[in-house]
C-alpha cells in the first residue's frame, strides 16, 4: 500500500480520493454538468423576470415599477441567504446540501407561479433567492475539489457557465414561454429545470463528507480574515461597473445609438455571448496566474466601460462594446478561487459570500448609474460610472496586495 502524505487538510484529502479513480475524467465531467444544470436553472430564474415585468404588473394589478420590486426581493434573498445557509449547513455533506438547496429553489419557483398577489409574490421571490449564493459557493468547492491538478479555476468556470449560459439560452426560452402562456409558465419552466438538476446531482455528485470539524462557528471564522473582506470588496465594488451599464442598456441603445426596438434582443444576445466567452477565458487565465488575472481584468473592465461612453453613439460600435462588457464577467471564477485560498478552514461561507458580493455589485452599479442619469449627465454617463467603479475595485485590490505583503514580512522582521 502507498503511504499517505503527511499533513493533508480536508480539501487535499478530497482531491486525492477523487483522483484515485481511473474513471475520474468522466466522473468529473458528469459532476460539473450536474452542477452546471443547477446554475443554469438559477440563472434563468434570476434574469427572466426582467423581461416579463409588464405581464406581471398587469396580472397582479400593480405598476411596472412596483412589479420590479420582485427583482429586488430576490436579490435580497441572495444577499441574506448566502451567509446564513452556509453557516447553518456547514456540517452537512456537500451532495446532500446541494440537493436540498436546489429542491428549495425548485419549490420556490413552482410556488411563485401560483402567487395570488403582489405581497405573496415578493415573499416567495425572496425565499427563492435564499439558496442561490450557497448553491454556487458549495458547487464551486465541489468542482474545485474534483478538478484535475492545476485546473481549479476552469472547473469553477464550467459551473459558472451554467449561470452565464442561462442569459444566452435559458432566459430567452423562459421569456418566450412567459409571453406565450403567461409569466407564470416561465417560473414553472425554471422549476422543472431545477428538478432535473436535483436528479443529476443525486446521480453524479460523489458523497463528499464535510471537512473534519466543520461547524457554524468555524465558518464564521472567515469573517476575521482581512483578505476575505478585501476579495469581497473587489467583487462588490469593482464588478458593479458592468451592472451600471447593463441596467440601462435598452434605453441607451434606442435613444443614443438609434437601434430599432426589434434589434435589442440581438444585442442582448451578444452580451450573453460575451459573458460565456469571458467566463471560459477568465477561468483559464486564473489557473495560470490568479492575482495577475484579477488585477488585469479590473484594468480591462475600466477601459471597456469607459469606451462605452463613445461607442454607444453608433449601432455597430455599441453592439461590439456590449459584447466586450459581457466578457468582464471573467473576473468571477478568479475571485471565487481567491476566496477559497484565503478563507482557510471556513471555505463554505467565504465561497457563498462571493455571490452576495456580486448581488451588492448589481445594486450598487444600477443605483449609481441611475443617479448619473437623473443628474442630467445622459444615458452614456453609465460608462463613466462603470469605469470609476472598476478603478475603485483596483484600489481595493492594491490595498489587499499591500496588506498581504505586510503580513508576509512580519515573521522575517521578527526573526532578525
This prediction has a pTM of 0.76
Q: pLDDT value at position 11?
A: 37
CB 128 within 8 A of CB 334: no
Put residue 122 in one of left, alpha, beta given phi > 0 → left and psi -120 to 50 → alpha. Answer: alpha
List the grid coordinates of 287: 489557473
- The residue with cell 457554524 is 216
Q: What is the pLDDT, as a whole number, of residue 23? A: 39
d(CA 88, CA 85): 5
Helices 347-374/118-146 angle, 10° precision: 130
How many CA atoms does the CB half-sphere of 10 hold within 13 Å?
Answer: 17
In this structure, the number of other CB atoms found within 10 A of the CB of residue 412 comes to 8
Measured CA distances, 237 to 32, 75, 147, 287 (Å)? 29, 16, 30, 23
Hey, what's the cell of 389? 467603479
Round to whole Å and give the CA distance between 142 and 14: 9
Average pLDDT rounded to a whole number, residues 61-81: 82
Distance CA(297)–CA(12), nearest Å, equals 29
* Average pLDDT of the residues in 22-48: 80
Q: What residues contact 150, with CB distance under 8 A and at least 6 apart?
A: 287
End-to-end CA distance of the chain: 44
Quickly state the pLDDT bin for 18 (edges 50, 70, 90): very low
Q: What is the pLDDT of residue 413?
A: 46
- Report domain extents, the chain: 15-210, 221-410
Instruction: Please state whether 376 falls in left (phi above 0), alpha (psi between -120 and 50) or beta.
Output: left
Query: 76 to each of 63, 70, 357, how far by Cα in Å?
Result: 21, 10, 11
pLDDT of residue 128: 95
Residue 4's contacts (CB-CB under 8 Å, 6 or more residues apart) are none
Q: Quickly state the pLDDT bin for 272 (edges 50, 70, 90).
A: confident
Q: What is the pLDDT of residue 322?
A: 93
CA dist 383 and 306 (Å) reads: 5
> What burial letters (b/e) apply to 125-164, b meaning 16+ CB within 10 Å?
bbbbbbbbbbbbbbbbbbbbbbbeeebbbbbbbbbbbbbb
Residue 14 pLDDT class (50, 70, 90 cuts): very low
pLDDT at 15 over 60: no
According to the model, what pLDDT value does residue 360 have? 83
pLDDT of residue 20: 35
What pLDDT, in 10s, does the model give residues 285-324?
A: 988 888 999 999 999 999 999 999 999 999 999 999 999 9
More confidently predicted of 194 and 57: 194
- 80 and 130 Cβ atoms separated by less than 8 Å: yes
* Count of C-beta atoms within a 10 Å radius of residue 400: 22
3-state helix, strand, coil split of the chain in percent (to 5) is 85, 0, 15
Q: What is the tens place of the pLDDT at every residue in 384-395?
A: 999 999 999 999
In whole angstroms, what is the distance from residue 354 CA to residue 361 CA? 11
328-342 pLDDT per residue, tens: 999 988 898 888 788
- Predicted local distance difference test score (pLDDT) of residue 64: 72
Using CA atoms, how far residue 159 sits from 31, 329, 335, in Å, is: 10, 14, 14
CATH domain 15-210 topology = Growth Hormone; Chain: A; (1.20.1250)
pLDDT band at 222 (very low <50, low <70, confident <90, very high): low
Q: What is the mean pLDDT of residues 265-278?
A: 87
Distance CA 249, CA 386 (A): 13
Q: What is the DSSP letter of 310?
A: H
pLDDT in tens, 191-219: 999 999 999 999 998 887 766 655 566 66
Which candidate, 46, 106, 40, places its Cα nearest to that of 75? 46
Q: What fold is seen in the domain 221-410?
A: Growth Hormone; Chain: A; (1.20.1250)
- Asked whether the domain spanning 221-410 has the same topology as the one spanning 15-210, the reply is yes
Q: Is the pLDDT of residue 81 over 60?
A: yes
Smallest CA-to-CA distance from 348 within 110, 166, 90 is with 90
What average pLDDT does the structure give for the chain?
83
Contact 327, 272 (CB under 8 A): no
Per residue in 223-243, pLDDT tens? 677 888 899 899 999 988 888
The residues near 397 (Cβ < 8 Å, ≥ 6 apart) are: 230, 234, 238, 294, 295, 298
Q: If you average pLDDT over residues 5-22, what whole number do you get?
A: 35
Amino acid at each position: 500500500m502507498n503511504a499517505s502524505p503527511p499533513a493533508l487538510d480536508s480539501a487535499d484529502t478530497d482531491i486525492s480520493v477523487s483522483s484515485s479513480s481511473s474513471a475520474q475524467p468522466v466522473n468529473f465531467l458528469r459532476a460539473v454538468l450536474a452542477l452546471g444544470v443547477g446554475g443554469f436553472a438559477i440563472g434563468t430564474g434570476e434574469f427572466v423576470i426582467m423581461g416579463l415585468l409588464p405581464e406581471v404588473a398587469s396580472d397582479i394589478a400593480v405598476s411596472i415599477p412596483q412589479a420590479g420590486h420582485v427583482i429586488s426581493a430576490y436579490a435580497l434573498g441572495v444577499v441574506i441567504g448566502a451567509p446564513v445557509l452556509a453557516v447553518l449547513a456547514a456540517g452537512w455533506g456537500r451532495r446532500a446540501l446541494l440537493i436540498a438547496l436546489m429542491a428549495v429553489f425548485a419549490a420556490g419557483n413552482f410556488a411563485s407561479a401560483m402567487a395570488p398577489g403582489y405581497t405573496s409574490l415578493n415573499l416567495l421571490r425572496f425565499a427563492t433567492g435564499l439558496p442561490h449564493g450557497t448553491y454556487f459557493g458549495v458547487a464551486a468547492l465541489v468542482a474545485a475539489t474534483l478538478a484535475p491538478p492545476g485546473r481549479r479555476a476552469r472547473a469553477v468556470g464550467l459551473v459558472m457557465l451554467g449561470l452565464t449560459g442561462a442569459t444566452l439560452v435559458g432566459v430567452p426560452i423562459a421569456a418566450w414561454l412567459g409571453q406565450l402562456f403567461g409569466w407564470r409558465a416561465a417560473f414553472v419552466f425554471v422549476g422543472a429545470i431545477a428538478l432535473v438538476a436535483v436528479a443529476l446531482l443525486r446521480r453524479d455528485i460523489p458523497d463528499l463528507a464535510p471537512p473534519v470539524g466543520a461547524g457554524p462557528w468555524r465558518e464564521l471564522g472567515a469573517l476575521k480574515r482581512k483578505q476575505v473582506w478585501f476579495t469581497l470588496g473587489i467583487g462588490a465594488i469593482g464588478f458593479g461597473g458592468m451592472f451600471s451599464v447593463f441596467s440601462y442598456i435598452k434605453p441607451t441603445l434606442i435613444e443614443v445609438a438609434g437601434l430599432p426596438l426589434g434589434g435589442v434582443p440581438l444585442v442582448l444576445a451578444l452580451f450573453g455571448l460575451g459573458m460565456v466567452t469571458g467566463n471560459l477565458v477568465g477561468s483559464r487565465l486564473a489557473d495560470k496566474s490568479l492575482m495577475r488575472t484579477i488585477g488585469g481584468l479590473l484594468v480591462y473592465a475600466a477601459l471597456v466601460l469607459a469606451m462605452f461612453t463613445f461607442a454607444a453613439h453608433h449601432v455597430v460600435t455599441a453592439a461590439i462594446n456590449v459584447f466586450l462588457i459581457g466578457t468582464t464577467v471573467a473576473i468571477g471564477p478568479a475571485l471565487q478561487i481567491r476566496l477559497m485560498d484565503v478563507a482557510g478552514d471556513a471555505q463554505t461561507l467565504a465561497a457563498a459570500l462571493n455571490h452576495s458580493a456580486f448581488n451588492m455589485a448589481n445594486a450598487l452599479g444600477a443605483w449609481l448609474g441611475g443617479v448619473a442619469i437623473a443628474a442630467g449627465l445622459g444615458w452614456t454617463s453609465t460608462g463613466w460610472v462603470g469605469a470609476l467603479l472598476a478603478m475603485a475595485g483596483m484600489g481595493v485590490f492594491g490595498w489587499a496586495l499591500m496588506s498581504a505583503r505586510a503580513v508576509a514580512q512580519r515573521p522575517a522582521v521578527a526573526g532578525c
